Amino acid sequence: RVAVLGSINMDLTTHTERLPRPGETVLGDSFENSQGGKGANQALAAVRSGATTTFLGAVGDDAFAGELLRTLTDSGVDVQFTRRTTGPSGIAAIAVDAAGENTIVVVAGANGAMRDLTDAERAVIADADIMLCQLEIPVETVLAGATHARANGTLVVLNPSPVQKLPDALVDAVDLLVVNEAEAAAIGSDVTDRIPHVVTTLGAAGARYRGPQSSADVASPTVDAVDTTGAGDAFAGALAAEWSTGAEAAVRWACAAGAFAATRRGAGSSSGRRGDIEPLLA
Ligand code: ADP
């Protein structure tokens, strides 16, 4: 059982020939809404890899809230304990130009209201085998969750994204760190060396595992990558879902999950089910 403690956003994406300058209005070509937020994306990846998955996060009371929750429930994520707060859901306003350059404004909305933990959230974390978190909700809440998980024998997995300085108490509560190379560099080896298991993703090259007993370089299956947005989230969710099968096997599975996501457009919706991922391992 996986509990994901993290963010959920509605991504509002406009496509335009060129991005507007300050004060300017441009006419766009197309627009779409899609579910995003690293927490929700990773919850979807975990449930699609076959883990019983509960999402602990918050939506607002706006029109996006129901749609966001539906993307999770449609895939089988338990949102029974997801908070419904007053005010807006988290959003990301994204503009993409013809060259693929983008500007993004993220407004935390309900994600920013994830302060303290409710009794129900604490119970879910204590009952889970693994708690997976990122840094798109207040870091104090991540720390509270990690400390509570640790005290109850729940394995703590942290994907420290967007990267920021980690409080010492959080570093000490993490069992497994999942980082890309930029995050690993920003955090520094003096910090990562204190964490028992570290998985570093290396894009198309796969991932590196360093644990107390063993280390391994795992290659990613070769795919025709279309859009690597969401590959990191697919990797983290799949890794948490498969962790109980052993570190190296789980990293291999996660590489295949990341590779599959790279063949699909979008983020949350790009993670694969077991039947999509298994053929890439053959
Ligand atoms: P992030 O997007 O967080 O920087 P990465 O780019 O390292 O993360 O991608 C995460 C994982 O997704 C990689 O470890 C790899 O398994 C898979 N992946 C990403 N891009 C590709 C690709 N072009 N081909 C195959 N696998 C990929």
Q: What pLDDT, on a 0 to 100 scale, did the predictor assign at position 121?
A: 98
Q: Residues 6 or more apart from 65 whose CB is under 8 A from it?
A: 59, 84, 89, 110
Catalytic-labelled residue, pool 129, 193, 233, 276: 233
From the CB of 256, is ligand 1 less than 6 Å away?
A: no
Q: For residue 279, what are its two tokens?
A: 């053929």
Q: Match 């991504």 to its residue by tokens.
A: 11
For ligand 1, the distance from its centroid to the CA atom of residue 98, given in whole angstroms, is 23
Catalytic status, residue 233: yes
For ligand 1, the distance from its centroid to the CA atom of residue 199, given in whole angstroms, is 12
For residue 105, the one-letter residue type is V
Assign domain 2-281 to a CATH class: alpha beta
Tens of pLDDT along the chain (282 residues)?
999 999 999 999 999 999 999 999 999 999 999 999 999 999 999 999 999 999 999 999 999 999 999 999 999 999 999 999 999 999 999 999 999 888 989 999 999 999 999 999 999 999 999 999 999 999 999 999 999 999 999 999 999 999 999 999 999 999 999 999 999 999 999 999 999 999 999 999 999 999 999 999 999 999 999 888 889 999 999 999 999 999 999 999 999 999 999 998 877 778 999 999 999 998
Q: Residues 6 or more apart from 197 whose CB is under 8 A from it?
A: 175, 176, 177, 209, 210, 211, 212, 247
- Shortest-distance Cα residue to atom 24 of ligand 1: 204
Alpha-carbon gap, residue 30 to 32, rounded angstroms: 7
From the CB of 231, is ligand 1 less than 6 Å away?
A: yes
From the CB of 201, is ligand 1 less than 6 Å away?
A: yes
For ligand 1, the distance from its centroid to the CA atom of residue 163, given in whole angstroms, is 17
- Shortest-distance Cα residue to atom 19 of ligand 1: 203
Alpha-carbon gap, residue 124 to 147, rounded angstroms: 14
Probe residue for ligand 1, chosen from 201, 224, 270 as the CB with the greatest number of ligand atoms within 8 Å:
201
ipTM over 0.95: yes
For ligand 1, the distance from its centroid to the CA atom of residue 239, given in whole angstroms, is 13
Alpha-carbon gap, residue 39 to 44, rounded angstroms: 9
